[in-house]
A and B are shown apart, each in its own frame.
Chain A
Amino acid sequence: MKSFHEPPSSEITDEKVYLQRRRYLRWGAAGALGLAVGGVATLGLRQGDEAPQASEAHPADPPPKRWQDLPHSRFSTDEALTDWESVTGYNNFYELGAGKEAPARNAHRLETDPWSVTVDGEAERPGKLHLEDLLQSMPLEERIYRLRCVEAWSMVIPWVGFPLAALLKRFRPTSRAKYVAFETLYDPSRLPAQNRPILDWPYREGLRMDEAMHPLTLLAVGLYGRPLPGQNGAPLRLVVPWKYGFKSIKSIVRIRFTETQPPATWNQLQPEEYGFYANVNPAVEHPRWSQKRERRIGEVFKRDTLPFNGYAEQVADLYKDMDLAKQF
């Protein structure tokens, strides 16, 4: 466990210290004054909503043996990792509550054992997969990907998972399978915010077949060498690093091969704001906010957003005949 964790965490500490110093310089005397006056006020202001409860999220058990020394992927970025506390404390998972800190608070409700995934639709061998069998049979690897949220923030996350293609091939999709549809668990007792009609539950997403079969497309079962915490989409979630985060559907219970484009939750709610493709694209603005820049969690100022979130070299070909301003 230690051997796996040490290098990333040391990088993180450095960056934090570095940022703190820069902040102090920037705010200078005003900051010092604020500290003096505001010490007391801070106590009152820091409600549960503002401090991520990382300790709750951190699994007490050590990671499974076979998750140690996972092979590293050639697709991994060498950028500094976003720290564990942020990755597991700042999440959009509306099923576990709106607001970035609510999912971590409510994650204990999401019981994931037992868990199975139904795979059906246009395939020769549809079936039901039990999570344990899946974990035993798929070769796990670590992949460090950038994640770009549609809300203009981003992270660098060391996922544990396997390529979606490896799983999909097992079910022998037919020639009529043009898309793959995904569905999140619908169970208000385990995903309590499903009691309120914030979104059209259950959450649904979809990929075109070539996107689903692309080697970058990952099914993640863990991060930082540990099983996925509930707030990150336990026990099984999609990770499509060149698309906005909402495409990477969490807590999947159903995968279906379809002939026509499947419905996607945010796309259905506000089609002019959230496209079906949702490729990260600084040139196509969200109607309400700019997508030109993003805030990397851990940094104060925004940085430029890259086309396809920096994965253009690998995926731009998938869209070469499309007008990405229209099919966004």
Chain B
Amino acid sequence: MRTIPRQSSLVFGLSLMPLAGLVAAFLLGGLGANPAEALIRQLGDWTLRFLLITLALRPAQHWLGWRLLRHRRMLGLFAFFYAVLHFAAYAVLDAGLDPGYILDDIAKRPYITVGLVGLALLFALAFTSASGLRRRLGVWWRRLHWAIYPAAALGVMHFFMLTRADYREPAVYAMLLSALLLLRIRPAPGSVQKKPPINGGKGHAEKRVEENRE
């Protein structure tokens, strides 16, 4: 039996704080005049934030030298978790759990269609996140999990499409995502090799598995 490292528990606890805060604020009247709308919106905000945090781990590890990648799976799963809550809050509070209303929205509202495609991608990533599946999928796993970029892009697009006139907020997400994508496409020369080996003389592939273990 594996014990859960203290640091992982901390990241797990911190990742639940936005939800706890939102639920408390919703119940105590801290979300303003339209709490249902605010709850849906802010669950969406947190989805985008967790996606960006997940994508920022590799460059952050490179620059800071901290072993951050081992939290990547959990943080990615939290992005999916907040995306599911975001959709669930919409389905309950906006659509009143009326399947006809939801299907109508998916078919007719491009921003909802786009958001849902993003959610479906995140579902595929979450579904294949278990270590066993990862090993079995081999090289396909890495290819599939590159889809976090299009998923995040769809999320930002979803935000753009529902905005009426002031695009500053979605623009901030778009810029951050573009920056992370550019870092990914053109990594600093020797970005992975330059760092001192974390676990002695182990091979590159083994190291990656190590990094992602919780």
Taking Cβ atoms with an 8 Å cutoff, the residues of A that contact B are 20, 23-24, 27, 30-31, 34-35, 37-39, 41-42, 44-46, 50-52, 85-86, 89-90, 94, 98-101, 151, 153, 198-199, 269, 285, 288-290, 292-293, 295, 297-298, 300-302
Q: Is there a chain A Cβ closer than 8 Å to B16's Cβ?
A: yes
A199 to B165 alpha-carbon distance, docked (Å): 7
Smallest CB–CB gap between A56 and chain B, Å? 15
Q: Is there a chain A Cβ closer than 8 Å to B197's Cβ?
A: no
A241 to B29 alpha-carbon distance, docked (Å): 28
> In the assembled complex, which residues on chain B have CB atoms less than 8 Å from the CB atom of A23?
26-27
Taking Cβ atoms with an 8 Å cutoff, the residues of B that contact A are 16-38, 93-94, 96, 101, 104-105, 108-111, 161-162, 164-166, 168
- Are A302 and B96 touching (Cβ within 8 A)? yes
- Are B111 and A34 touching (Cβ within 8 A)? no
A30 to B178 alpha-carbon distance, docked (Å): 37
Question: Which of B27, B28, B105 gathers most chain A CB within 10 Å?
Answer: B27
User: Which DSSP category, helix, strand, loop or mixed, fits chain B's interface?
Assistant: helix
A153 to B33 alpha-carbon distance, docked (Å): 11
A52 to B35 alpha-carbon distance, docked (Å): 12
> In the assembled complex, which residues on chain A have CB atoms less than 8 Å from the CB atom of B165?
94, 98, 198-199, 269
Question: Which of A23, A289, A298 gathers most chain B CB within 10 Å?
Answer: A289
A295 to B93 alpha-carbon distance, docked (Å): 9
- Are B17 and A41 touching (Cβ within 8 A)? yes
A86 to B26 alpha-carbon distance, docked (Å): 15
> In the assembled complex, which residues on chain B have CB atoms less than 8 Å from the CB atom of A86?
33
**Could you show 30 A-B contacts with beta carbons less than 8 Å apart?**
A23-B27, A24-B27, A34-B20, A34-B27, A35-B24, A37-B16, A37-B17, A37-B20, A37-B24, A38-B19, A38-B23, A38-B24, A41-B21, A45-B21, A45-B30, A50-B30, A50-B31, A94-B165, A94-B166, A98-B165, A98-B168, A100-B33, A198-B165, A199-B165, A290-B101, A290-B104, A290-B109, A300-B36, A301-B96, A302-B94
> In the assembled complex, which residues on chain B have CB atoms less than 8 Å from the CB atom of A39?
24
- Are A45 and B93 touching (Cβ within 8 A)? no
Per CB-CB distance, the 4 closest pairs between chain A and chain B, nearest first, are A38-B20, A34-B23, A41-B21, A90-B33
Please pick, from B21, B33, B94, B110, the residue contacting A85 in the complex, using a CB distance under 8 A. Answer: B33
Beta-carbon nearest neighbor of A52 in chain B: B32
A85 to B32 alpha-carbon distance, docked (Å): 9
- Are A153 and B108 touching (Cβ within 8 A)? no
- Are A46 and B30 touching (Cβ within 8 A)? yes
Please pick, from A45, A269, A295, the residue contacting B36 in the complex, using a CB distance under 8 A. Answer: A295
Please pick, from B19, B35, B96, B161, the residue contacting A288 in the complex, using a CB distance under 8 A. Answer: B161
Smallest CB–CB gap between B179 and chain A, Å? 24
- Are A90 and B34 touching (Cβ within 8 A)? yes
Given contacts A38-B17, A98-B165, contact A153 B24 (CB under 8 A): no
Beta-carbon nearest neighbor of B104 in chain A: A290
> In the assembled complex, which residues on chain B have CB atoms less than 8 Å from the CB atom of A290?
101, 104-105, 108-109
- Are B18 and A45 touching (Cβ within 8 A)? yes
Smallest CB–CB gap between A139 and chain B, Å? 32
- Are B21 and A38 touching (Cβ within 8 A)? yes
A56 to B19 alpha-carbon distance, docked (Å): 30
Smallest CB–CB gap between B30 and chain A, Å? 5
Smallest CB–CB gap between B33 and chain A, Å? 4
A145 to B105 alpha-carbon distance, docked (Å): 29
A281 to B73 alpha-carbon distance, docked (Å): 47
A24 to B168 alpha-carbon distance, docked (Å): 36
> In the assembled complex, which residues on chain A have CB atoms less than 8 Å from the CB atom of B16?
37
- Are A101 and B32 touching (Cβ within 8 A)? yes
Beta-carbon nearest neighbor of A41 in chain B: B21
Beta-carbon nearest neighbor of B25 in chain A: A42
- Are B27 and A31 touching (Cβ within 8 A)? yes
Please pick, from A38, A153, A288, A293, the residue contacting B109 in the complex, using a CB distance under 8 A. Answer: A288
- Are A100 and B34 touching (Cβ within 8 A)? yes
